[in-house]
Amino acid sequence: MTTISVFPLADAAVNFARDDVLLARARATGEELIRLYGWQEPAISFGRNERVDGRFARDRARAAGLDVARRQTGGRALLHHRELTYAIAGPTTVDDTLRATYVRLNSILAGALRRLGVAAEVTTESPALPEGAPCFAIPSPGELVVAGRKLVASAQWREASAFLQHGSILIDDDQPLLGQAVDDAYTLPPVPPPATLRSLLAHVPSLEDLAGALAAVITEATGTAPGRIAPDALLGDADVRVRAEHYRDPAWTWRR
């Protein structure tokens, strides 16, 4: 059984804390949970093990009004703001590899985007990623593109027989804001313009629109309609507050 919940806007620490608690619930209950959300303010997130020392500067990010946090999944730096963001958590099995789960979830997401009018495709291309390049520089295999341009950035983390995959579906191209937080001694590799929902559609879909499209694709594939649950019934506020402190800690965000 799959459950979908649409959350109110939050800052980076709370959003990543909610994703942690979502993962914990999926691990404990065996449910597959989809959380859709957005961002209160522009925020940079770093990949779990990405090296940012000497590339990004916290004082420059602060001066530019950019929130900064290091997420729990891998990948490279990206700017979150005008986007539809998803997180999916669920149990794993012995035969359920990271790649197989990644392909399955991105295929569902591609189907939902096509229902909204976006000609999204799962790419198999794997060009070399320049050293220090941000997330939207090139699509990785399995990510979603439109006419070769990256629309969705996704990453996955596995922990104790459960997975968390989350990703960003761009409404507008805010990625140039990354340059405002770059260290003076560093030059960010160029990023080709990504695809955006605003450039592809006459009407930009909402989180509720995405929830409906995902529900339709899952129902068609499984014969069972996903349930809907309110955010406060899905995740406990106390658990989120505890985890948010981890993502606010500079020792985690700027650890390498």
> Which of 21, 26, 89, 135 is flagged as catalytic?
135
Task: Report the distance separating Cα 27 and Cα 24, nearest Å.
Answer: 5
Strand partners, 40: none
Asked if 135 is an active-site residue, the reply is yes
C-alpha distances out from residue 216 to 208, 210, 221, 229, Å: 12, 10, 9, 16
- What residues contact residue 58 under an 8 Å CB cut-off, 6+ apart? 68, 250, 253, 254
Beta bridge partners of 56: 182
**Largest Cα–Cα separation, the chain:** 55
3-state secondary structure of 216: helix
For residues 74, 247, 162, 155, the Cα torsion angle rounded to the nearest 10 degrees is -30
Per DSSP, 4 falls in state E
Buried b or exposed e, range 84-123, using 16+ CB within 10 angstroms: bbbbbbbebeeeeeeeebbeebbebbbbbbebbebebbbb
SS3 state of residue 96: coil
- What is the DSSP-derived secondary structure letter of residue 142? T
* 227, amino acid identity: G
Q: Whole-angstrom Cα distance, residue 122 to residue 57?
A: 34
Listed residue (20, 234, 226) closest to 112, CA to CA? 226
Q: Which residues are the active-site residues?
A: 135
